[in-house]
């Protein structure tokens, strides 16, 4: 092959417009056209990058304090899901008001197995006790969750609540709201409220399935016509976890029918997965 | 390319010229609508008609509302730039030095949007209202608002 | 191809081409990520990278696909074709970053193996709205990997040009899979029509260019020269030829390039032994026929590449009568020596 020895080609007027890739110096006309093409391509790429980036859908304000550990103190309850009640203050009547913070485990796993193993190992029940935990907060839209980042070592201290009056005050305030049908999207609470953005929709479906399958509490996110969103923890009719049963319906428009209960500051929907879930 | 390859190419592209637009349009047509729910069981407090005071503090528009008879009062907070905190508790402080357990907890504020909170009745009012925004999870003071009535 | 095996025969144009690929890739990623970080600072960083690389691979595959038909419509685009395979491999690498990151981000760190989860997390193959779009992306990536892995001339030589070419047609299936992966995936989440419009412009351009170029080729394939009684084809009068260039004729089965080199005429197969480039659209450079695609060369007297190279193409016999060139349509085996006919072209010394 006569590659590499074609510098004299540029003097051959016959071949001024003939492109040969392996010559060292291109004819002027071709070189100029190539430079213009490169500039056009760079402009197209940069403008496309800016243009496409401009048009992402709205990303939520959710936060996940990754790498930042927080110590949380509160009262542990296993219903409706494993959660810790953090004291917010006293209302005008002197009633203690709590924020219920559901617990989740590291990565795509729920906390219920971890709690159960801890209770079995220490031959104790954590229900109704005051816990001091260390982990990672995630939150959005007024809801918070707490990741037990250090697994069993996240439980720093356990204290029995000996004061009777306090024991009464920390009990959940339950309000039955009857059988309701609610339309929305089943999301996994960990990703939606902070661990991933966006934590909902079809592109997130696979992750939501993994999280819910791993034990993270599934939640129905429902939006009204004013754009306000409310969240409903999903449990089975017998108050059991129905994570596996809801998997085929995650991240799709669905309607859930079941008994609606207000559990302090969380809504819970007790659903029979065989009959209570309908695709929209 | 040889003749056979050229023929294969044009056949493939004639098929794709039909399949791609059909697939494209079908995919657009099946984009599901967001399911809307009429009642999402959010407690909506009725907003009192009169505004007796309005101030702006940082990312908040603070309004004191009252009824015509001036027997009921509300605190309305409107958020301009969303908060980054986990929990924004709204407290009616009875003292100059804020103590969450010695204050009246009015409720929590969503990080964006706004909310209305019932204020203690007229008898307990002083000329000056001390509202505190406090994060009880992190035990962090977020903001304090002093309102002269 | 050469005496001593080299993975890539680098030269200034290839280096420049690759530099441009790097510039385009990096400038897109910076433009996309910087804009997103400014406007949507709360977008999850891993999701940002997944979107950046995914959207970039979408643009790259469109660029790769339009080069072929553009070069058939105008030789001005040939510089884009020269090192196109590096662009194709880049497309695969960018798509692979998107794919692997997506697999780990969405399917990993959970209670299942990532590949099992890919196929089991969503099994609604009977629903278009809920179709497992990630599986489409997976198969597209597999095809792109296959393309990239066999892109080297080593595979071209060992698999044979015909088979290799047919294998690489799978890129069109990958293209359809990618379009549907986007349409059944991220489009459902985005409320802005911009991505839909971009994609529409993209596939319209790709389809139109292929159909226009394809139709032009088919029309040319249908133009068969007149056969004479002695079996020869009339190729044209000598004044039709430009010095150093060819005229392409069609014998009904294939195209043949008849070159003029001064007063000499020679005929070889139009299909380059390398990647099937149109030799008849090339030139005679330093006395050898040069392919316009990658510069592969063939001697005029026997269709063989000059030593140390070993490519060869079929040759054809010519005769001239009264300043007319006639072609024997039956090809000689590749590399057969032929008589180069000499005809004095009127008006030229």
Q: Say yes or no for a CB contact (<8 Å) between A228 and B40.
A: yes
Domains and CATH numbers, chain A: 7-51 (no CATH), 63-169 (2.40.50), 174-279 (2.40.50)
A7 cis-preceded (ω within 30 degrees of 0): no
Task: Find the helix or strand (DSSP H, E) in which A45 lies.
Answer: helix A28-54
Chains within contact range of chain B (3+ C-beta pairs < 8 Å): A, C
Q: Identify which has the larger pLDDT, B46 or A102.
A: A102
Q: CB-CB: which of C128, C211, C276 is closest to B2?
A: C276
Interface test with C, best of A8, A16, A21, A48 (most C CBs within 10 A): A21
Q: For residue A42, list chain C residues with Cβ-Cβ distance below 8 A.
A: 23-24, 27
Residue with tokens 């209670």: C111
The pLDDT-based confidence of B3 (bands split at 50, 70, 90) is: confident
Chain C within 8 Å of B2 (Cβ-Cβ)?
yes
Question: Is the preceding omega at residue C140 within 30 degrees of 0, hence cis?
Answer: no
Q: C183–B21: do the CB atoms touch at under 8 Å? A: no
Q: Which phi and psi (to 5°) does residue C288 adopt?
A: -120, 150
What are the backbone dihedrals phi and psi of residue A51, each rounded to the nearest 5 degrees, phi first?
-60, -50
Report the C-alpha gap between C309 and C274 in whole angstroms. Answer: 11
CB atoms within 10 A of CB C137: 25
Does the pLDDT at position B125 exceed 70?
Answer: no
Q: Which of A226, A204, A227, A212 is nearest to A273 (CA)?
A: A212
Report the distance separating Cα A146 and Cα A136, nearest Å.
6
The one-character DSSP state at B49 is S
> A residues 4-43 near B, CB within 8 Å?
none
Does the distance separating the beta carbons of A184 and B35 come in below 8 Å? Answer: yes
Cβ atoms B68, B119 nearer than 8 A: no
pLDDT at B70: 83
Cβ contacts of B138 within 8 Å, gap of 6 or more:
A70, B85, B86, B87
Nearest-angstrom CA–CA distance, A167 and A164: 5
B109: Cβ contacts below 8 Å, ≥ 6 apart: B77, B79, B83, B88, B89, B90, B115, B133
B60-66 vs A277-279, strand pairing mode: unpaired
Tell me whether strands A253-263 and A277-279 are parallel, antiparallel or unpaired: antiparallel
Contact B21 C215 (CB under 8 A): no
Closest CA to A138 of A109, A113, A104, A108: A104
The residues near A270 (Cβ < 8 Å, ≥ 6 apart) are: A235, A236, A237, A239, A258, A259, A261
Q: How close C102 comes to chain A (CA, Å)?
A: 10
**CB-count exposure of residue A43 (10 Å: 0-12, 13-18, 19+):** exposed
In B, minimum Cα distance to A64 occurs at B86
pLDDT tops 80 at residue A57: no
pLDDT of residue A5: 39
CA distance C159 to B87: 65
Which residue in A72, A90, A224 is closest to B36 by CB distance? Answer: A224
Pairwise CA distance, residues C124 & A176, whole Å: 36
Instruction: Dump pLDDT digits (tens) for A177-209.
Output: 999 999 999 999 999 999 998 899 999 999 999
Cβ–Cβ < 8 Å for C79, A37: yes
Please name the CATH architecture into which domain C233-342 falls: 3-layer Sandwich (2.102)
> Which residue from C283, C281, C241 is spatially nearest to C263, judged by alpha carbons?
C241
- With residue A47 as reference, give the H or E element that holds it: helix A28-54
How far A265 CA lies from chain C's nearest CA (Å)? 26
Distance CA B76, CA B73 (A): 10
Helices (H), chain C: 12-39, 45-73, 78-82, 84-102, 114-120, 133-149, 153-159, 161-168, 170-183, 194-222
Query: Tens of pLDDT along C125-148?
Result: 999 999 999 999 999 999 999 999
Q: Which residues of A touch B108 (CB under 8 A)?
A: 88, 99, 142
Angle between helices C170-183 and C133-149 (to 10 degrees): 150
Closest to C86 (Cα-Cα) out of C19, C134, C143: C19
pLDDT of residue A205: 96
Tens digits of residue pLDDT in B25-58? 999 999 999 999 999 999 888 899 999 899 999 9
| pLDDT tens for each residue of A124-175 | 999 999 999 999 999 999 999 999 999 999 999 999 999 999 999 999 999 9
Nearest chain A residue to B124 by CA distance is A92
Q: Which residues of C touch A107 (CB under 8 A)?
A: 109-110
Task: Quote the Cα angle for B55-C41-B34, to 5°.
Answer: 85
pTM confidence score = 0.90
Residues from chain C that touch B17, judged by Cβ atoms under 8 A, are 207, 211
Residues 15-54 of B with CB under 8 A from C: 16-17, 19-21, 23-24, 26-28, 30-32
Indicate if the pLDDT at residue A4 is higher than 50. no
- Intra-chain end-to-end CA distance of chain B, in Å: 87
- Please give the Cα distance from C279 to C300 (Å, whole number): 12
* pLDDT tens digits for range C246-265: 999 988 889 999 999 999 99
Residue C191 clears pLDDT 60, i.e. is over it: yes
Q: Do B23 and C129 touch (CB under 8 A)?
A: no
Question: Which value, to the nearest 10 degrees, does the dihedral of the CA atoms of residues A30, A35, A37, A42 take?
Answer: 160
Tens of pLDDT, residues C34-72: 999 999 988 889 999 999 999 999 999 999 999 999 999
Between CA A111 and CA C7 the distance in angstroms is 54
Give one DSSP letter per residue of A143-201, joined into a string. Answer: EEEEEETTGGGGEEEEE----HHHHHHTS--EEEEEEEEEEEEEEEHHIIIIISSS-SS
**Euclidean distance between CA atoms A47 and A171, whole angstroms:** 58
**Helix crossing, B3-29 with C194-222: angle to 10°?**
160
Given a contact cutoff of 8 angstroms between Cβ atoms, the answer to whether A169 and A94 are in contact is no
Triad C316, C321, C325: Cα angle to 5°: 40
- Spell out the residues 6+ positions from residue C72 whose beta carbon is closer than 8 angstroms to its own: C213, C216, C217
**In whole angstroms, how far apart are CA A45 and each of A49, C24, C26, C41?**
6, 6, 10, 22
Among A72, A89, A229, the residue with its CB nearest the CB of B137 is A72
pLDDT at C347: 61
**Domain locations in chain B as residue ranges:** 50-148
Instruction: List phi, psi (to 5°) of C84.
Output: -55, -30
Tens-place pLDDT, residues C281-340 = 999 999 999 999 989 999 999 999 999 888 999 999 999 988 899 999 999 999 999 988
Using CB atoms, list chains with 3+ pairs below 8 Å to chain C: A, B
A7 close to C (CB below 8 A): no
Total residues belonging to chain C: 349
Contact C130 A21 (CB under 8 A): no
For C276, the closest of B1, B8, B19 (CB atoms) is B1
CATH of domain B50-148: 2.60.40
B100 CB neighbours in chain A (<8 A) are: 88-89
User: C187 contacts in B (CB within 8 Å)?
Assistant: 27-28, 31
Burial of C5 (0-12, 13-18, 19+ CB in 10 A): exposed
CB contact under 8 A, A144 and B137: yes
Contact flag C306-A20 (C-beta cutoff 8 Å): no
The answer to whether the beta carbons of residues A232 and A269 sit under 8 Å apart is yes
Separation of alpha carbons A249 and C122, rounded Å: 9
Out of B36, B101, B111, name the one closest to residue A61 (CB). Answer: B111
- Which structure tokens are listed for A4? 């590499």
- Using an 8 Å Cβ cutoff, are A208 and A221 in contact? no
Q: Which residues contact B5 (CB under 8 A, 6 or more apart)?
A: C162, C165, C166, C276
Q: Enter the DSSP assignment of A207.
A: H
Structure tokens given for A156: 């720093």
Local structure of residue C106 (DSSP, 8 states): I
Show residues of chain A in contact with B90, CB under 8 Å: none
What the block records as the tokens of A142 is 């007024």
| Rounded Cα gap, residues B47 and C148, in angstroms | 65
The pLDDT > 70 percentage for chain A reads 94
A56, C41, C189 from C27: Cα distances, Å: 19, 20, 26
Q: Cβ separation of A183 and B40 shorter than 8 Å?
A: no
Work out the pLDDT band at C3, boundaries 50, 70, 90: very low
Whole-angstrom Cα distance, residue C39 to residue C36? 5
Give the chain B residue whose CA is nearest to the CA of A200.
Answer: B34
User: What is the model's pLDDT at position A24?
Assistant: 64
Smallest CA–CA distance, residue C183 to chain B, in Å, is 6
């Amino acid at each position: 092959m006569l590659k590499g020895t074609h510098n004299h080609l540029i003097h051959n007027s016959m071949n001024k417009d003939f492109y040969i890739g392996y010559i060292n110096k291109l004819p002027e006309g071709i070189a100029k056209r190539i430079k213009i093409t490169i500039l056009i391509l760079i402009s197209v790429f940069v403008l496309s990058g800016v243009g496409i980036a401009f048009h992402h859908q709205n990303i939520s304000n959710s936060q996940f304090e990754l790498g930042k550990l927080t110590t949380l103190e509160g009262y542990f309850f296993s219903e409706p899901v494993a959660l810790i009640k953090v004291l917010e203050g006293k209302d005008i009547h002197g009633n203690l008001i709590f924020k219920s913070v559901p617990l989740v485990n590291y990565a795509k796993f729920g906390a219920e197995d971890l709690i159960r193993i801890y209770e079995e190992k220490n031959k104790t029940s954590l229900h109704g006790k005051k816990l001091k935990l260390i982990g990672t907060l995630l939150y959005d839209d007024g809801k918070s969750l707490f990741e037990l980042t250090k697994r069993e070592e996240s439980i720093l201290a356990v204290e029995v609540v000996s004061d009777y009056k306090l024991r009464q005050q920390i009990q959940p305030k339950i309000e039955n709201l009857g059988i309701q049908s609610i339309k929305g999207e089943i999301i996994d609470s960990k990703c939606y409220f902070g661990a991933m953005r966006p934590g909902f929709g079809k592109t997130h479906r696979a992750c939501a399935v993994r999280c819910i399958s791993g034990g993270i509490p599934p939640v129905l996110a429902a939006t009204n016509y004013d754009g306000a969103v409310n969240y409903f923890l999903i449990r089975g009719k017998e108050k059991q976890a129905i994570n596996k049963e809801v998997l085929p319906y995650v991240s799709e428009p669905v309607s859930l029918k079941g008994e609606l209960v207000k559990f302090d500051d969380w809504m819970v929907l007790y659903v029979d997965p065989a009959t209570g879930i309908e695709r929209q | 390319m040889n003749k056979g390859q050229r023929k294969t190419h044009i056949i493939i592209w004639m098929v794709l010229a039909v399949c791609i637009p059909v697939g494209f349009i079908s995919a657009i047509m099946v984009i599901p609508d967001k399911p809307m729910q009429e009642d999402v069981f959010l407690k909506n407090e009725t907003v009192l008609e009169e505004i007796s005071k309005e101030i702006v503090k940082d990312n908040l528009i603070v309004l004191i509302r009252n009824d015509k008879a001036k027997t009921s009062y509300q605190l309305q907070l409107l958020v301009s730039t969303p908060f980054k905190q986990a929990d924004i508790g709204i407290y009616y402080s009875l003292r100059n030095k804020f103590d969450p357990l010695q204050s009246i907890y009015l409720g929590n504020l969503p990080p964006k949007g706004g909310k209305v909170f019932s204020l203690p009745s007229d008898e307990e009012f002083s000329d000056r209202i001390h509202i505190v925004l406090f994060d009880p999870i992190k035990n962090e003071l977020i903001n304090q608002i002093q309102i002269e009535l | 191809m050469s005496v001593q095996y080299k993975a890539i025969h680098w030269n200034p144009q290839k280096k420049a081409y690759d530099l441009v690929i790097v510039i385009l890739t990096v400038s897109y990623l910076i433009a996309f990520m910087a804009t997103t970080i400014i406007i949507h600072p709360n977008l999850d960083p891993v999701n940002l990278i997944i979107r950046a690389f995914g959207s970039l691979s979408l643009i790259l595959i469109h660029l790769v696909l339009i080069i072929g038909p553009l070069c058939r419509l105008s030789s001005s685009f040939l510089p884009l074709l020269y090192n196109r395979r590096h662009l194709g491999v880049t497309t695969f690498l960018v798509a692979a970053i998107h794919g692997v990151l997506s697999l780990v981000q969405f399917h990993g760190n959970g209670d299942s193996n990532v590949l099992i989860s890919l196929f089991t997390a969503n099994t609604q193959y009977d629903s278009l709205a809920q179709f497992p779009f990630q599986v489409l992306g997976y198969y597209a990536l597999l095809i792109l990997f296959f393309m990239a892995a066999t892109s080297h001339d080593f595979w071209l030589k060992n698999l044979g040009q015909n088979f290799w070419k047919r294998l690489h047609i799978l890129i069109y299936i990958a293209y359809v899979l990618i379009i549907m992966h986007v349409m059944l995936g991220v489009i459902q989440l985005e409320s802005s029509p911009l991505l839909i419009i971009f994609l529409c412009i993209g596939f319209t351009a790709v389809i139109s260019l292929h159909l226009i170029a394809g139709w032009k080729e088919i029309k040319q394939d249908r133009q068969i020269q007149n056969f004479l009684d002695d079996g020869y084809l009339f190729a044209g009068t000598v004044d039709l030829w430009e010095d150093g260039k060819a005229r392409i004729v069609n014998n009904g089965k294939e195209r043949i390039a008849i070159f003029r080199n001064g007063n000499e005429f020679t005929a070889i197969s139009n299909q380059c032994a390398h990647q099937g480039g149109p030799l008849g659209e090339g030139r005679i450079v330093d006395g050898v026929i040069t392919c316009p695609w990658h510069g592969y060369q063939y001697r005029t007297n026997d269709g063989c590449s000059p030593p140390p190279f070993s490519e060869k193409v079929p040759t054809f016999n010519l005769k001239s009568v009264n300043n007319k060139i006639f072609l024997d349509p039956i090809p000689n085996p590749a590399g057969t020596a032929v008589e180069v006919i000499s005809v004095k072209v009127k008006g030229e010394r």
